[in-house]
């Protein structure tokens, strides 16, 4: 009862604020041109930042006009900011070295730990910028190719990949040393195949790792000759080019991957010997602090067993430490930390249903569970499946610093606890989401914070949470003229009482006596929430304000598996991805929505992208609740998606034939209810266009008409401004046509 009363107070307060704002008669509204303008892109930004080994911070402030942006050094002791290079000169030098003409300097693709060098990758060109004066050189000389650059820990060398072989470049002599020679179209050294890039390493080409002493490089070698080929047809030239991609579909062969260590002095590789330990995925490689051993993680095909090994870098021999298991699938993470002062390691496990830290000995013996409770350690990342909660480790005083959802599943805070599991404290006090980066010495951290009613800021703190100073304040004045209404955060009860996080944006000039159309945005999938107590400043978020200005309400509601609250909830969709559990929760949310007196129950739409596109197809083929929907880049049948992701939820088709049959949206296309628009890019190398072609063909067979928007040669995220702007304008027109007053 108390939570319902608090929720009512919050909603009434939000309505009062909305009413007061409406009375001010604002002069401007957010528009599509503004969203993709420089001002729109930077309105909710904080400076890009990275700690250096010197204790300073490298900054690049995108809040400044493009011509004024440059790399700066921030001194935490004084708060002073010093320009490192003249941006115009640096841009001119990069252009001369690469043959391209960037419109601004931009954030580097790699940074020397000491802050002397920065590397930029421009198409096939790799250039190194000297931050002492702005001189620039193309790695390998004129016309040379290079990608996936990373500086050595001592800052003297730069590793990179060229034509699928690994190289080391001496920054002083400007000479490149070839470390591998076997690279080919299907044998990759130090660079990743698509399925590893996307699903294992979270969209980062992380295929090699420098040793702590900068004398060796551990790397992955990938043989993808047995992986099936998918093809994409361009519209240029007159006889269009055909692009090939190695992409393993569910049930098909994966690339074969092994790990090796190449010594720079000899260019000789020692392979990690896992011959006695069969595996499907080589999921992680990490140097131990002593630089003599590697931690290697492998995963089996069902993804229910993960093994951790220690490998001798000099001989390749391995020692098995322990095995992590899960009845559904084991989530990969980057929370393996080796202590420097004693033979122990920290590891995150979900064995009790929640992601928590555990302390192990280097003999594989479990010492204790460090964090406990009905909540998960968690940190925001570029993709939901890239997980790392550990922020810092103070071995001297015995503190582990980490981020978690302990206060609320829609918030993220910094905590610390003793390694014996005692004395846990929450260090961040302001409501919302805190994204934390600690200094290399662990004495300070930067906090990029925002909440649903506070734009992002960047601030410096001592390790115990004590504020030092603001680095970048929030800028509410950037959006003040638009008079944005607050979003209401609350929960909607599912049929069994589960509280589903929800977020509602009402129409501008809301009148409770009227009835409004509603657009529901969804994503779904395991631990991928759409509801958060953070500032909503993406193009999609601003687009929702445009919908509000046009008289639509916008609702987001997270099904239980997507809330990121626990592994127990994730496992509910095992063998039934985009299926019954997700559908029932969504329909319970819709039931609540349609019970509101101000909602027109006959004018409810649904849309989503990728997993959200699949969720939209599920909703519109398995219910009659939606008048219209937009499915962007949807998976229409799990057989068309990649091995790693599809099989984590569904296992192989031969292991779960009934599950694949039940969850095939294409097979249910004949049951489509409501007007559907399908959207896809023809070069979508993530969710292949065949998903949309198959669903469309089934609609044709059933005699069902539809709308469609195809974006030529765009990939999954369609990042170019023209395509994004066109997409959101097209969707707005669709909603106006199909959710207009009856």
- The pLDDT confidence band at residue 381, using thresholds 50, 70 and 90, is confident
Instruction: Quote the tokens at residue 282.
Output: 């080589």
Query: At residue 617, what are phi and psi to the nearest 5 degrees?
Result: -65, -40
Specify which residues 269 forms β-bridges with: 262
pLDDT tens, position by position, 35-65: 999 999 999 999 999 999 999 999 999 999 9
Nearest to 4 by CA among 493, 375, 495, 505: 493
Instruction: Quote the tokens at residue 162.
Output: 């060229």
Whether the CB-CB separation of 95 and 101 falls below 8 Å is answered with: yes
Nearest to 358 by CA among 376, 350, 346, 372: 346
Whether the CB-CB separation of 366 and 381 falls below 8 Å is answered with: no
pLDDT tens, position by position, 625-639: 999 999 999 999 999
pLDDT of residue 23: 44
pTM for the model: 0.94
pLDDT tens, position by position, 472-502: 999 999 999 999 999 999 999 999 999 999 9
pLDDT of residue 159: 98
- Given a cut of 90, whether residue 593 has pLDDT beyond it is yes
- The pLDDT confidence band at residue 385, using thresholds 50, 70 and 90, is confident
pLDDT tens, position by position, 295-311: 999 999 999 999 999 99
Nearest to 564 by CA among 379, 349, 289: 379
**Torsional sign, CA 17, 22, 23, 26:** positive
What is the DSSP secondary structure assignment for residue 26, as one 8-state letter?
A: -
User: Kind and range of the H or E element at 325?
Assistant: strand 318-325
pLDDT of residue 27: 64
Q: Which residues contact 740 (CB under 8 A, 6 or more apart)?
A: 517, 603
- The pLDDT confidence band at residue 741, using thresholds 50, 70 and 90, is low
- Give me the mean pLDDT over the 198-211 stretch: 96
- Give me the mean pLDDT over the 681-691 stretch: 98
- Give me the mean pLDDT over the 70-75 stretch: 97
Nearest to 431 by CA among 413, 405, 418, 409: 413
Whether the CB-CB separation of 636 and 664 falls below 8 Å is answered with: yes
pLDDT tens, position by position, 136-151: 999 999 999 999 999 9
- Given a cut of 80, whether residue 10 has pLDDT beyond it is no
> Between helices 539-549 and 721-738, what is the axis angle to 10°?
30
For residue 433, give the 3-state DSSP assignment: strand
Q: Which residues contact 89 (CB under 8 A, 6 or more apart)?
A: 134
Specify which residues 349 forms β-bridges with: 356
| Beta strand 57-60 pairing with 216-223 | unpaired
Specify which residues 263 forms β-bridges with: 216, 268
Q: What percent of the chain has pLDDT over 90?
A: 93
For residue 200, give the 3-state DSSP assignment: helix
Q: What percent of the chain has pLDDT over 70?
A: 96
- Given a cut of 90, whether residue 16 has pLDDT beyond it is no
Instruction: Quote the tokens at residue 55.
Output: 């204790």
Q: Give the CB-side neighbour count of residue 68, counting CA atoms within 13 A.
A: 6
User: Kind and range of the H or E element at 8?
Assistant: helix 2-23
Whether the CB-CB separation of 564 and 405 falls below 8 Å is answered with: yes
For residue 170, give the 3-state DSSP assignment: strand
Specify which residues 390 forms β-bridges with: 402
pLDDT of residue 380: 83
């Amino acid at each position: 009862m108390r939570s319902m009363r608090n929720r009512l107070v919050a909603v009434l307060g939000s309505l009062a604020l909305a009413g007061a704002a409406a009375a001010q008669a604002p002069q401007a509204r957010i528009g599509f041109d503004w969203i993709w303008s420089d001002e729109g892109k930077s309105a909710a930004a904080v400076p890009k930042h990275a700690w250096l080994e010197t204790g300073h911070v490298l900054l690049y402030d995108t809040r400044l006009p493009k011509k004024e942006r440059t790399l700066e050094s921030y001194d935490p002791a004084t708060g002073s900011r010093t320009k490192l290079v003249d941006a115009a000169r640096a841009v001119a030098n990069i252009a001369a070295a690469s043959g391209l003409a960037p419109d601004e300097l931009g954030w580097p693709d790699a940074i020397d730990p000491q802050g002397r060098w920065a590397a930029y990758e421009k198409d096939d060109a790799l250039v190194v910028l000297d931050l002492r004066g702005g001189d620039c050189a193309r790695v390998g000389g004129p016309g040379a190719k290079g990608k996936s650059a990373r500086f050595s820990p001592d800052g003297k060398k730069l590793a990179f990949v060229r034509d699928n072989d690994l190289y080391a470049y001496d920054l002083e002599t400007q000479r490149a040393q070839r470390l591998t020679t076997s690279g080919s179209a299907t044998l990759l050294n130090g660079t990743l195949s698509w399925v590893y890039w996307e699903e294992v390493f979270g969209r980062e080409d992380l295929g090699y790792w420098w040793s702590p002493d900068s004398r060796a490089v551990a790397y992955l070698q990938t043989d993808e000759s047995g992986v099936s080929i998918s093809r994409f047809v361009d519209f240029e030239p007159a006889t269009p080019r055909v692009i090939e991609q190695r992409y393993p579909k569910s049930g098909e062969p994966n690339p074969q991957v092994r790990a090796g260590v190449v010594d720079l002095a000899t260019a000789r590789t020692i392979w990690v010997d896992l011959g006695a330990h069969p595996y499907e995925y080589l999921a992680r490689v990490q140097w131990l602090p002593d630089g003599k051993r590697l931690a290697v993680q492998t995963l089996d095909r069902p993804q229910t067993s993960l093994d951790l090994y220690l490998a001798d870098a000099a001989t390749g021999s391995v020692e098995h430490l322990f095995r992590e298991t899960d009845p559904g699938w084991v989530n990969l993470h980057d929370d393996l930390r080796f202590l420097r002062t004693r033979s122990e390691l920290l590891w995150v496990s979900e064995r009790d249903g929640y992601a928590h830290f555990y302390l192990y000995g280097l003999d594989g013996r479990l010492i204790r569970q460090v964090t406990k409770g009905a909540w998960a350690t968690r940190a925001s990342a570029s993709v939901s499946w890239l997980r790392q909660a550990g922020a810092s480790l103070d071995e001297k005083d015995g503190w582990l610093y980490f981020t978690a959802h302990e206060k609320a599943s829609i918030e993220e805070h910094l905590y610390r606890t003793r390694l014996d599991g005692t004395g846990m404290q929450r260090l961040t006090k302001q409501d919302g989401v805190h994204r934390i980066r600690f200094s290399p010495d662990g004495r300070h951290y930067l906090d990029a914070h925002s909440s649903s009613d506070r734009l992002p800021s960047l601030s410096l703190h001592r390790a115990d949470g004590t504020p030092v100073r603001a680095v970048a304040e929030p800028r509410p004045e950037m959006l003040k003229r638009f008079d944005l209404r607050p979003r209401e955060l609350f929960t909607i009860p599912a049929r069994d009482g589960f509280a589903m996080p929800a977020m509602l944006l009402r129409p501008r000039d809301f009148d409770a006596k009227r009835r409004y159309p509603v657009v529901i945005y969804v994503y779904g999938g395991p631990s991928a929430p759409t509801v958060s107590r953070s500032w909503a400043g993406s193009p999609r978020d601003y687009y929702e304000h445009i919908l509000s200005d046009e008289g639509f309400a916008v609702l987001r509601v997270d099904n239980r598996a997507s809330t990121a609250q626990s592994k127990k909830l994730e496992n509910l969709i095992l063998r039934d991805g985009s299926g019954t559990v997700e559908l029932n929760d969504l329909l319970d949310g819709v039931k609540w929505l349609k019970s509101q007196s101000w909602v027109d129950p006959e004018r409810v739409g649904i849309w989503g992208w990728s997993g959200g596109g699949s969720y939209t197809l599920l909703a519109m083929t398995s219910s009659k609740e939606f008048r219209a929907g937009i499915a962007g880049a949807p998976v229409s049948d799990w057989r068309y998606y990649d091995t790693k992701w599809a099989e984590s939820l569904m296992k192989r088709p031969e292991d779960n034939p009934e599950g694949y049959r039940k969850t095939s949206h294409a097979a249910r296309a004949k049951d489509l209810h409501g007007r559907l628009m399908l959207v896809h890019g023809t070069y979508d190398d993530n969710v292949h266009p065949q998903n949309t072609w198959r669903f469309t063909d089934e609609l044709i067979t059933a005699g069902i008409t539809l709308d469609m928007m195809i974006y030529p040669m765009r990939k999954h995220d369609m990042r170019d401004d023209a395509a994004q702007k066109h997409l959101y304008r097209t969707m707005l027109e669709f909603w106006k046509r199909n959710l207009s007053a009856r």
